[in-house]
Amino acid sequence: MRHYEAMYIVDADTSDEAYDTVIEKYKKVVTDGGGEVSEAGKWEKGRRPLAYEIKHDNKKKREGLYILMQFTSESKVPKELDRIFRINDEIIRHIIVRQNDSEE
End-to-end CA separation in angstroms for the chain: 13
C-beta neighbour count of 2 within 10 angstroms: 15
Q: What is the pLDDT of residue 104?
A: 47
Of 9, 17, 95, 15, residue with least CA distance to 46: 9
Q: What is the pLDDT along the chain (104 residues), one digit of tens a residue?
A: 899 999 999 988 878 788 889 999 999 999 999 999 999 888 877 678 888 888 877 788 888 899 999 999 998 999 999 999 999 888 889 999 999 876 54
The reply to whether the predicted model has a pTM over 0.95 is no
Q: Which class for 103: exposed (0-12), middle (13-18), buried (19 or more C-beta within 10 A)?
A: exposed
